[in-house]
Structures are given as C-alpha cells and as structure tokens.
C-alpha cells in the first residue's frame, strides 16, 4: 500500500467594499442601492445638505428611524426620474429641505420599514424590500 500525502491548496478570499455611491438625494436602503429621487427622504436623513445614511455603508445610531415617502420608490409604483450617481443636486431642490415633506413610512436605513405609529409605540416593524 502506498500512502500519498495530500497536497495543500491555498485559498485566497478578497472582499472590497468601495465608498458609498454619490447620490444627490440619498440612495435606497436595499440592493442594488440605486439613487433615490428628491422627496423620498425626509430632512432628518441629511446633515448640512449631506445624506447621512442608508444601506450597507450606514453605521449610524442603532435605533435611528427616519421618515421616507415610498411613493417615490419604483417598487411602489414610481415612474418618474431618478438621479444618477455622481450627479449634483438641483439648486432648487436642496437635500434635506423638502418643502412640505409628508413621509408615509419610517425606515432604519438597513431595509427595515415600520409605520410611524407602530414604531413610536414599541412596534418591531417588518423587513422591507
């Protein structure tokens, strides 16, 4: 009987996570993280006109919930325009200063949604898209 020593294989794994996409009004919090249109996110999602987070790049406050208007989401029937990555915002539509914003849902930036009243009274929400 001949005993052969097993050869060792070397495995290499590389994971690269690039910078968050540059979207003028924020990006959706579910893959493929496309740019969200003006009016999707409420003012609490911005700081000094800069989008503060959603998706895999968001590592903000653990219990952060912010208002969104998901009528601007293509998964909920929106057929209007979407900005492209790297596009600059329109001076008349400054991020974080949406006139008369009326959000219809609360989101945590990680794809989880919760209607505002449920969240305020301790509801746990449900997984979004």
Helix boundaries (H) for 1-129? 116-120
Q: What is the pLDDT of residues 111-126, one digit of tens each?
A: 778 754 444 433 333 3
Using left for φ > 0, alpha for ψ between -120 and 50, and beta otherwise, residue 117 falls in alpha
Q: What is the pLDDT of residues 80-92, one digit of tens each?
A: 888 888 888 888 8
> How do 105-107 and 66-68 pair as beta strands?
antiparallel
Strand partners, 107: 66, 113
Residue spans per domain, the chain: 21-81+91-129
3-state secondary structure of 105: strand
Asked if 74 and 46 count as a contact pair (C-beta separation under 8 A), the reply is no
The phi, psi pair for 118, rounded to 5°, reads -65, -40
Q: What is the pLDDT of residues 26-81, one digit of tens each?
A: 888 888 888 999 999 988 888 888 888 776 666 666 777 888 998 899 888 888 88
């Amino acid at each position: 009987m001949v005993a052969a020593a097993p050869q060792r294989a070397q495995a290499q794994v590389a994971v690269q996570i690039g910078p968050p996409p540059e979207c003028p009004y924020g990006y959706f919090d579910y893959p493929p993280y496309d740019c969200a249109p003006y009016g999707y996110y409420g003012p609490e999602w911005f700081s000094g006109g800069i989008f503060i987070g959603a998706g895999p790049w968001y590592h903000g406050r653990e219990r952060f919930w912010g208002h969104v208007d998901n009528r601007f989401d293509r998964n909920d029937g929106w057929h209007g325009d979407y900005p492209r990555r790297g596009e600059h915002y329109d001076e008349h539509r400054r991020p974080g200063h949406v006139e008369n914003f009326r959000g219809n849902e609360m989101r945590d930036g990680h794809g989880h949604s919760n209607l505002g009243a449920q969240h305020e009274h301790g509801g746990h929400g449900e997984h979004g898209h």
